[in-house]
Structure 1
Amino acid sequence: MSDIAVISSLESVAQRYDALLCDAWGVIHDGVTLFPGVAEALTRFRETRGPVIILTNAPRPSSVIPAQLDKIGLPRSAWDDIVTSGDATRAAIEARLPAPAFRLGPAKDDPLFEGLDIDFRPLEEAAFIICTGMEDDAHETPDDYRGLLERAAKRRLPMICANPDIVVNWGGRLIWCAGALAEIYKELGCEVVYGGKPHAPIYDLALKRIETLRGQTETARILAVGDGLKTDILGANNKKLDVLMIAGAGGVHEGDRDADAVAAKLEEAGLHAMGVAQALQW
């Protein structure tokens, strides 16, 4: 049997923490539906413990996320601030300007580029790639882009990946994200720069927001919550943050219904979590 703690309620461990970093997709919602109990859990944590920062690998600036959460039904009383992979990625883009860029991604990610004077060019004329995802993630797969990525690899163009996620569960269907394209590009031997989870820039931004909201806070008093092994769990481990793994709400590991299965995956990946829960509940 596993010795990983099974956490049935956030309230049972909340007193250990003064701030919460909460993943969005797979913990709060599945892109379509708000999971039951999440709004109460986050609101009660804010009321009794401290600030809640929503930490998402969305490849867009945080300014566009509140409206999306409103639409899903998460009340604004459930969170204090939002930090996105898009926020963390903009600095990496700015650092390469005014060099021309090739854009790889759908029009819905346009807000990422607002206020940045980017000279977008065809692949053959670009100095680097900005990847936010596939043009049509409902029908395309990463293999549809292998030829394009091989052409880019011949020129050794560095890629900035705005969303490190490989897949997300969208309303019960797994869809590919920018991270899947970045994985192919790395396999081709090319440089990929990330801002989102599990990489440091997004956590550095989030920790600064916590400091602004409640002052300097020890990392031991901050709890991360997430469902992705290679993003949420790895990122929290890298930052020495306690992390609660959500394994059943509708995330990418929703098939793991017991602590033993989760513990086995964590051990295989060389990762650790303070506990596992089937869903985020107060």
Structure 2
Amino acid sequence: MFERIDGLAAIADRYDGFVFDVWGTLYDGGAAYPQAVAVLQRLAAAGKAVVVLSNSPRPAAVVAERLDGIGIPAALYREVITSGGECHRHLRDRPDDFHAGLGPLAFGFDPGRFAHILPGTGFESTPELEAADWILNAGPRSGLDTVADYEAALARGAARGLAMICANPDKVVYEQGVKMIHAGALAQRYEELGGRVHYHGKPHAPVFARSIEVLGARPDRVLVVGDNRATDVAGAVAAGLDSLMLADGVHCDDLLVAGRLADERLRAFLAVPGPQPLWVADRLGW
């Protein structure tokens, strides 16, 4: 059963390591959230280990540079882990039969979104779906597009039996208050059409296992902090980790009334079968 808290101070002593989501938790595409820097500074002062875990299709260095630019320096965390970075690493190293068996040409809906993923892997991109050996899904051309805009390409890829790699399992994000679709929404539709999808990122186990390794903490002393029930909370539950769900992120329309978490909405939201957070708060704060 979940418990509401006003800030991280109420539970920080229970944990030695913290895994923070980025989008919807630390910022929403603009400036850092008002209390995000203060929270990370408090944890650093207390000697707590922090990993930043993002479903960004970009490499960790790009996300780290962005965080530094909004006032979250590398001194406040041990490492940034991104779904795009993990995708690149697996394509480069080909550590399993799936990645080793991919053909040389990848089709993407917006090649600009995976400019950092393919270089150095031995794979190349093609603008022609018919020439592709597989699909690299790092997101739509525009977050304002709809899944229906990609129906023809998705259906053709599924009919050809092309495997898809999804480099960002998020289905939607809020960018400065505007709701946009992301790669996970296209991947979900691809599966509905009979296509096969391999995911890198939350909620899938490998990124949580790597986070725990970097933190060097016992799993029962690690807290996942994020705003997405389907990725942050689900991944934490599957990995046996506690989680704190923030209400002012991707689920804000379901949970907030006049900017505040409404108890009746929260109860209704979490009554829907699915992974359950241990803690819930309006927003990130100390």
Alignment of 1:127-138 (within 5 A): 127-137=133-143
- CA contact under 8 A between 2:104 and 2:122: conserved in structure 1? no
Q: Is 2:269 the counterpart of 1:271?
A: no
Give secondary structure in 2 for the equivalent of 1:104.
coil
Kindly provide the CA deviation profile for residues 130-152 of structure 1, in whole angstroms up to 9, marking residues without a partner as x. 11011222x42211110111111
* Amino acid in the other structure paired with 1:27: T
Inter-partner Cα distance in structure 1 for 2:129 and 2:9: 51
Give secondary structure in 1 for the equivalent of 2:236.
helix
For 2:42, the equivalent position in structure 1 comes to 44
Inter-partner Cα distance in structure 2 for 1:34 and 1:24: 10
* Amino acid in the other structure paired with 2:134: F
Inter-partner Cα distance in structure 2 for 1:103 and 1:246: 32
77-86 or 165-174, which moves further after superposition?
77-86
Alignment of 1:87-106 (within 5 A): 87-93=85-91, 94=94, 95-96=99-100, 97-106=102-111
Kindly provide the CA deviation profile for residues 203-255 of structure 1, in whole angstroms up to 9, marking residues without a partner as x. 122122113xxxxx21110000011111111010100100000002xx11123
258-267 or 75-84, which moves further after superposition?
258-267
- CA contact under 8 A between 1:60 and 1:87: conserved in structure 2? yes
- CA contact under 8 A between 2:243 and 2:279: conserved in structure 1? yes
* Amino acid in the other structure paired with 1:237: V
Question: Please, which of 65, 68, 75 is the counterpart of residue 67 of structure 1?
Answer: 65
Q: Post-superposition shift, 1:91?
A: 4.2
For 1:150, the equivalent position in structure 2 comes to 155
- CA contact under 8 A between 1:4 and 1:263: conserved in structure 2? no
Give secondary structure in 1 for the equivalent of 2:272.
helix
Compared CA separation, residues 276 and 259, structure 1 to 2 (3 A): farther
Q: Is 2:198 the counterpart of 1:208?
A: no
For 1:214, the equivalent position in structure 2 comes to none
* Amino acid in the other structure paired with 1:186: E
* Amino acid in the other structure paired with 1:280: L
* Amino acid in the other structure paired with 2:149: D
* Amino acid in the other structure paired with 2:275: L
Inter-partner Cα distance in structure 2 for 1:59 and 1:17: 29
Q: How many residues align?
A: 272
* Amino acid in the other structure paired with 1:272: Q
For 2:31, the equivalent position in structure 1 comes to 33
- CA contact under 8 A between 2:118 and 2:124: conserved in structure 1? no
- CA contact under 8 A between 2:113 and 2:139: conserved in structure 1? no
For 2:6, the equivalent position in structure 1 comes to 8
TM-score (norm 2): 0.90
Inter-partner Cα distance in structure 1 for 2:151 and 2:103: 27
- CA contact under 8 A between 2:103 and 2:134: conserved in structure 1? no
Percent of counterpart pairs with the same letter? 36
Inter-partner Cα distance in structure 1 for 2:118 and 2:105: 13
Alignment of 1:226-241 (within 5 A): 226-241=226-241
- CA contact under 8 A between 1:4 and 1:259: conserved in structure 2? no
Q: Post-superposition shift, 1:87?
A: 2.1
Give secondary structure in 1 for the equivalent of 2:275.
coil
Q: Is 2:124 the counterpart of 1:119?
A: yes
User: Structure 2: 5+ residue runs without aligned partners?
Assistant: 256-260
Inter-partner Cα distance in structure 2 for 1:119 and 1:111: 12
Inter-partner Cα distance in structure 2 for 1:228 and 1:30: 13
223-232 or 117-126, which moves further after superposition?
117-126
Give secondary structure in 1 for the equivalent of 2:86.
helix
- CA contact under 8 A between 1:19 and 1:49: conserved in structure 2? no
92-101 or 180-189, which moves further after superposition?
92-101
Q: Is 2:192 the counterpart of 1:194?
A: no
For 2:258, the equivalent position in structure 1 comes to none
Inter-partner Cα distance in structure 2 for 1:241 and 1:147: 40
Give secondary structure in 2 for the equivalent of 1:111.
coil
TM-score (norm 1): 0.91
Q: Is 2:192 the counterpart of 1:164?
A: no
* Amino acid in the other structure paired with 1:131: N
